[in-house]
């Protein structure tokens, strides 16, 4: 495939750097899969049964994600000023992994410890994505960026699936495998596995990756660096006309990504309300999605580099439109399995091609800051879709209509990105790199 060949100029990532970068998706996906299954079950049934557990998982997720969304562009700008993306990635990733592993010690009578560790782990997961994604344009050239991005998501689906499978086997078949303790103890072992998997597989990433960008400012104390970072963010906003295509894409991404994330988060609600699917069967659906999404992400990445990132993105959004429309007619469990399988084919692809487009149109000196905005935009608006879904479900008591109503996000998102010209966006970013100032690049 030529994915790991080194560029003639040696300016982009070497094979081991590309692999180390992609391995972080493999690492952190253990948190993504185990947290929505084992962690949710442990908190709601054992640590904080009743409304308290629901409040922690819901309000804790919302508040922490919102705070991280506000912090992402600032910390990204700080990392740019110091050329310190690797250091910040190590801090956030390993802190989140350590908190996850320590959940093993958060027994049901230590509720306060579980609350603290949950917030720290979630914050580590959210913030580390800013620095991880910002490495993409440094390690991959324009011709390979789609495939490199796709390999990250593909490895993530396999790694997350394997970690979840191990946790499920350990919990469900513990007696036969002579795993000590009761079911509650085995859930805690699953949380320990989540943290060790995330932290252990992150080590090659934090040891091998190197910042290739030059510091945009002198190293300062964090308070001073944050003040300068806010100034840099304000400067970017004032000169956003220099990146018209990037702005257009991010607006469209805000809308259709909210649709994707809502389908992911609310599909289990639909399955429970409409089809009465139990946790075990839902776990099997999640595993199926993980392993179908692996070849799907690779195929989309390959197509993106061959025929262009925008046509592939539009095709993915078209598939989502069909999937969500079909949800209105779901009445049987096998219908849900089929819908989930089709969605899995474009799940990783939609995310990887979006990341590739973002990387192509991002000036190299502002990767941390701009990917901070990328993460911020996705997280700050992610509450709209779930609220939209929940309100329609509450008023109509029709799960099919609630899920099908998410069609609006994909249609509107498709309409916004339809005029997008990726080549022009790439030229705008390169002019900024050459001029060294966004305002000069715009001619203003």
Interacting residues of 53 by C-beta distance below 8 A, sequence separation 6+? 43, 44, 45, 47
Q: What local confidence, expressed as pLDDT, does residue 55 receive?
A: 67
**Which tokens sit at 170?**
């350990």
Q: What local confidence, expressed as pLDDT, does residue 205 receive?
A: 93
Torsion of CA 421, 422, 424, 430, to 10 degrees: 160
- Position of tokens 């600032």? 74
H-run or E-run covering 274: none
Secondary-structure breakdown of the chain: helix, strand, coil percentages, each rounded to the nearest 5 = 80, 0, 20
Question: How confident is the model over 248-259, as pLDDT tens digits?
Answer: 888 898 889 888
Q: What local confidence, expressed as pLDDT, does residue 286 receive?
A: 80
CB 123 within 8 A of CB 376: no
The pTM (predicted TM-score) of the whole model is 0.71
How far is 168 from 174, CA to CA, in rounded Å?
9
Q: With a cut of 70, list the residues of the chain below it in pLDDT.
A: 1-13, 50-51, 54-55, 57-59, 62, 142, 214-242, 265, 268-269, 272, 278-280, 364-369, 372-383, 431-444
Q: What local confidence, expressed as pLDDT, does residue 224 receive?
A: 65
CB 349 within 8 A of CB 312: yes
Interacting residues of 296 by C-beta distance below 8 A, sequence separation 6+? 344, 345, 346, 347, 348, 349
Q: What local confidence, expressed as pLDDT, does residue 8 receive?
A: 41
Interacting residues of 132 by C-beta distance below 8 A, sequence separation 6+? 21, 24, 89, 93, 205
Q: What local confidence, expressed as pLDDT, does residue 146 receive?
A: 74
Q: What local confidence, expressed as pLDDT, does residue 51 receive?
A: 66
**Which tokens sit at 264?**
């992911």
Question: How confident is the model over 364-398, as pLDDT tens digits?
Answer: 666 666 776 666 666 666 667 777 777 787 788 78
């Amino acid at each position: 495939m030529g994915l790991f060949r080194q560029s003639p100029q040696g300016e982009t990532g070497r094979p081991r750097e590309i692999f180390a970068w992609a391995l972080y998706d493999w690492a952190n996906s253990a948190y993504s899969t185990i947290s929505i299954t084992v962690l949710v079950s442990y908190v709601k049934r054992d640590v904080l049964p009743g409304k308290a557990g629901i409040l922690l998982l819901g309000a804790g997720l919302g508040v922490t994600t919102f705070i991280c969304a506000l912090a992402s562009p600032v910390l990204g700008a700080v990392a740019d000023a110091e050329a310190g993306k690797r250091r910040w990635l190590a801090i956030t990733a390993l802190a989140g992994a350590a908190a996850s592993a320590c959940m093993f010690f958060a027994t049901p009578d230590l509720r306060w410890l579980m609350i603290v560790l949950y917030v720290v782990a979630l914050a580590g997961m959210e913030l580390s994505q800013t620095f991880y994604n910002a490495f993409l344009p440094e390690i991959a050239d324009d011709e390979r960026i789609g495939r490199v991005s796709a390999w990250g998501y593909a490895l993530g689906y396999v790694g997350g699936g394997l970690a979840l499978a191990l946790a499920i086997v350990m919990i469900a078949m513990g007696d036969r495998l002579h795993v000590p303790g009761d079911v509650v103890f085995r859930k805690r072992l699953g949380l320990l596995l989540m943290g060790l998997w995330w932290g252990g597989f992150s080590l090659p990433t934090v040891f091998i990756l190197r910042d290739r960008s030059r510091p945009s400012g002198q190293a300062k104390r964090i308070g001073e660096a944050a003040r300068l970072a806010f100034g840099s963010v304000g400067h970017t906003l004032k000169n956003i006309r220099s990146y018209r295509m990037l702005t257009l894409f991010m607006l469209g991404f805000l809308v259709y990504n909210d649709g994707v994330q809502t389908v992911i988060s609310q599909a289990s609600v639909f399955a429970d309300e409409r089809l009465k699917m139990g946790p075990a069967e839902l776990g099997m659906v999640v595993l199926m999605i993980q392993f179908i999404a692996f070849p799907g992400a690779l195929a989309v990445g390959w197509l993106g580099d061959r025929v262009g990132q925008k046509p592939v993105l539009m095709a993915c959004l078209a598939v989502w439109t069909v999937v969500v429309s079909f949800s209105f007619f779901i009445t049987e469990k096998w219908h849900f399995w089929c819908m989930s399988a089709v969605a899995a084919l474009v799940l990783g692809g939609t995310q990887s091609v979006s990341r590739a487009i973002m990387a192509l149109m991002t000036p190299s000196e502002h990767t941390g800051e701009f990917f901070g905005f990328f993460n911020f935009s996705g997280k700050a608006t992610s509450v709209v879709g779930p609220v939209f879904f929940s309100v329609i479900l509450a008023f109509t008591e029709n799960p099919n209509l609630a899920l099908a109503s998410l069609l609006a996000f994909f249609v509107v998102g498709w309409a916004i990105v339809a005029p997008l010209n990726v080549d022009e966006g790439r030229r705008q970013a390169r002019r900024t790199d050459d001029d060294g100032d966004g305002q000069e690049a715009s001619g203003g």
